[in-house]
Structure 1
Amino acid sequence: MSTATNHHIVVAQAEVFTSPLQFSAPPGINITQELYPNTTPDQVHERCRNATIIVLSYLRLDAIALSEAITPNLKFIAIAAVGTDSVDLEACRKRGIIVSNCPAANVESVSNHVMGMYFAARRNVIRMDRVVKDGNWFKNGHGPLVSGKMKDKNQELCLTCDEETVGILGYGSVGKKVAQLSKALGMKVLIAGRKGANGERTGTNIERTPFEEVLKQSTVLVVAVPRCPETMNLISTTEFQKMSCKAVLINISRGGIVDENALVQALKDRSIFGAATDVFGTEPASAENSPLLADGTTDLNLTTSPHLAWYADKTMENYLTTTPTNIRNFFLGSPTNLVV
């Protein structure tokens, strides 16, 4: 059990949750709490100064915020999310701060979002919708403008599911679910090995195809890897040049893993057919900070969503259950779902 008898919980992003988080402590431990709908970077130091426990979703906690000078009493960070890249984990290790997350909490919603984005990109749904609503279905009486949106660089028509080869980068919970859904639609699935490595087998005897081969063979490339130094700019100009002009890329991992400038150029050159992303290098994304939204990108086959692939009742239920459980288990001395 935690040796401290008094804990102060700061919920820094309460607006993320559809219902209030309910915390409980075993006998002998007293808890107080502060709930903030949202916390901006300039408010972190003041609001977290007295916390022994911080609950967050995507709020950035850097090494300065995690220093003894700023958060002297901090013992535990409960991340109500799957991704952990918003917290400086090395700084936590050095101070002995325990960190937990909610692994696999969003598998269903994110994998569903992948499939929705696949269909949007492959069937060019957004651009066709715009053509129809702008009154350009027939342009100058010369036939359907929409059909041109369905052709690739070689003027060949759109692929169907049974013709697709899906390459999956990152074979965690989401990657596995995407593979399952893809196979159900009649798609061939390739699981990529690490970049620069040969084909490899995991402990579960999952055969992996070399990274370079996945790029060449895939007509759909799904990026589902965590953000870390090794995965930054994992897909850039060199990788796009190896891909088929029929390929669509889907990124539901983190911004920075796909080089945004290179992606825009690949779409403009039509070296790939289309792309869809739920994440951006800078968030919230805008025309001022993201090449994907800058001038000249409006007519590209690019579908975007505002980092909400996780958003679903099932995900929220998992967060509302797992996060308080992680905190209670910390009180009991048996912390669960540990990251650090």
Structure 2
Amino acid sequence: MYRPKVFISQWMPPIGVDMIRQYCDVDYYNGTTPLSKQDFISRAKEADALLIFMCDTIDGQIVQSIPNVRVISSFGKGYDNIDVTACTAQNILVTINPDALTDSTADIAIGLILSLARNILPSDSSIRSGKFNGWHATNFLGRDFHHSRLGIIGFGAIGQAIARRAKGFDTEICYYDVVRQTAAEQELGAVYKPLEELLNQSDFLVVAVNLQPDTIHLLSRNELQQVKPGSFLINISRGSIVDEQAVAEALDDGRLQGYAADVFEFEDRMVPQRPSYIPSSLLEMREKTVFTPHIGTGTIEARERLAVSSANQLLAALHGQIPSGAVNRVNPPKLLP
């Protein structure tokens, strides 16, 4: 019986690798540093299917160099690092994980909100400095999250999961999305608002939209001038949805009171003219910012869920089925019975 060839381009929890090995011959790069484009192509060109990661950039050149590949399964939910149009033209099915990372990403959004609003990082630094002398009436006064107005930009699975958690804080939940989510409005008591209204009425704003050409710098200088003075902005989706330099300016002039992010513009390799790193002006604002190194899915449980889901998506396609996470209209290859 024919065993399809699968190239796994980075480390993943063994449970997913073992699932694929039951049915396929696997070339597994068990490393955490991305391969060069040349090395990636060298290992991928003989494969029938790929399991790739966020730091792999699947551009048109790579697509043209892997003529045997019929399935690309992405270890994640976003697919802005994949040229889906080029894949479709070459009859390559692209699939993602629609649900495996939702809850963990929503958890870190709440963590960033609380860390930012309650000055947890500067408070921790103060303790460690040895200067803490006990309770003080004005030490690190923050802002309440409970009973505030939370604005969520993008009300898909992750945005709704954030809203469910925020309900426990008795927040007023508002959202903006290009598509009204009426069922979620009823379930969560969420109120739809146009983006401009959401910006100028929310105490806390969370960005939870996909990165697409029309969402690059969705929050730029113009939009940030419309936010409620003294509000907080949290980004857990993709860095390039926010203009980081404009964020630094809004923090400097006091329009924003704080900014927290788990994602950054420099990570988005498919975005033209992306910066080389996070602006120094943002990094220097230690009292007003909280940053984490893209760990929204950084739990043992989430990574194992992603490994299982990525394997299932890939194997479903190889069995000739359309995976639940398919993002383009390509007939699956049916290389497995």
Identify the TM-score tier after normalising by the shorter chain.
Answer: 0.7 to 0.9
302, 313, 320: which is aligned to 1:326?
313
Give, as a single letter, the amino acid of the residue that structure 1 aligns with 2:326.
Answer: L
Which runs of 5 or more residues in structure 2 are unaligned? 186-190, 270-274, 329-337
265, 269, 280: which is aligned to 1:281?
265
The 5-angstrom pairing of residues 141-180 of structure 1 reads: 147=139, 149-150=140-141, 158-180=142-164
Q: Which residue of 2 aligns with 1:339?
A: 327
Shift of 1:280: 0.7
Alignment partner of 1:53 is 2:40: no
Count of residues in Structure 1 that have an aligned counterpart in Structure 2: 312
Q: Which residue of 1 aligns with 2:213?
A: 229
Q: Which residue of 1 aligns with 2:302?
A: 315
RMSD of Structure 2 on Structure 1 (CA): 2.6
The worse-fitting range, judged by mean Cα deviation, of 294-303 and 88-97 is 294-303
CA distance in 2, matches of 1:251, 1:190: 16
CA distance in 1, matches of 2:261, 2:132: 27
8 Å CA contact retained: 1:128, 1:146: no
CA distance in 1, matches of 2:136, 2:286: 17
The 5-angstrom pairing of residues 258-297 of structure 1 reads: 258-283=242-267, 289-293=276-280, 297=284
Give, as a single letter, the amino acid of the residue that structure 1 aligns with 2:25.
Answer: T
Q: Which residue of 2 aligns with 1:153?
A: none
The 1:307–1:296 alpha-carbon spacing in structure 2 relative to 1, beyond 3 Å, is closer
CA distance in 2, matches of 1:284, 1:60: 9
Alignment partner of 1:33 is 2:40: no
Identity across the alignment (%): 24
Shift of 1:204: 2.9
- Encode CA deviations 1:64-84: one digit per residue, 9 max, x unaligned: 0001xx111010001121111
Alignment partner of 1:204 is 2:204: no
8 Å CA contact retained: 1:276, 1:302: yes
Q: Which residue of 1 aligns with 2:118?
A: 123
Q: Which residue of 1 aligns with 2:128?
A: 133
Give, as a single letter, the amino acid of the residue that structure 1 aligns with 2:143.
Answer: L
Give, as a single letter, the amino acid of the residue that structure 2 aligns with 1:48.
Answer: A
Alignment partner of 1:17 is 2:13: yes
CA distance in 1, matches of 2:87, 2:45: 15
CA distance in 2, matches of 1:244, 1:16: 42
Q: Secondary structure at the match of 2:192?
A: coil
Q: Secondary structure at the match of 1:191?
A: strand
Shift of 1:159: 2.9
Alignment partner of 1:185 is 2:169: yes
The 1:246–1:145 alpha-carbon spacing in structure 2 relative to 1, beyond 3 Å, is same
Alignment partner of 1:110 is 2:105: yes
Shift of 1:40: 2.2
Give, as a single letter, the amino acid of the residue that structure 2 aligns with 1:55.
Answer: L
94, 99, 102: which is aligned to 1:99?
94
CA distance in 1, matches of 2:262, 2:278: 14
Q: Secondary structure at the match of 1:256?
A: helix
The 1:316–1:299 alpha-carbon spacing in structure 2 relative to 1, beyond 3 Å, is closer
The 1:189–1:227 alpha-carbon spacing in structure 2 relative to 1, beyond 3 Å, is same
Q: Which residue of 2 aligns with 1:299?
A: 286
Q: Secondary structure at the match of 1:130?
A: helix
CA distance in 2, matches of 1:9, 1:37: 14
Shift of 1:246: 2.3
Normalising to structure 2: TM-score of the pair?
Answer: 0.84
Shift of 1:17: 2.6
Q: Which has the higher helix share?
A: 2
8 Å CA contact retained: 2:238, 2:268: no
The 1:136–1:240 alpha-carbon spacing in structure 2 relative to 1, beyond 3 Å, is farther
Q: Which residue of 2 aligns with 1:154?
A: none
8 Å CA contact retained: 2:44, 2:66: yes
CA distance in 2, matches of 1:90, 1:248: 36
Alignment partner of 1:239 is 2:204: no
Shift of 1:135: 4.1
8 Å CA contact retained: 1:16, 1:57: no
66, 81, 85: which is aligned to 1:86?
81
Which runs of 5 or more residues in structure 1 are unaligned? 151-157, 195-199
The 1:146–1:53 alpha-carbon spacing in structure 2 relative to 1, beyond 3 Å, is farther
Alignment partner of 1:65 is 2:52: no
Normalising to structure 1: TM-score of the pair?
Answer: 0.84
The 1:20–1:318 alpha-carbon spacing in structure 2 relative to 1, beyond 3 Å, is closer
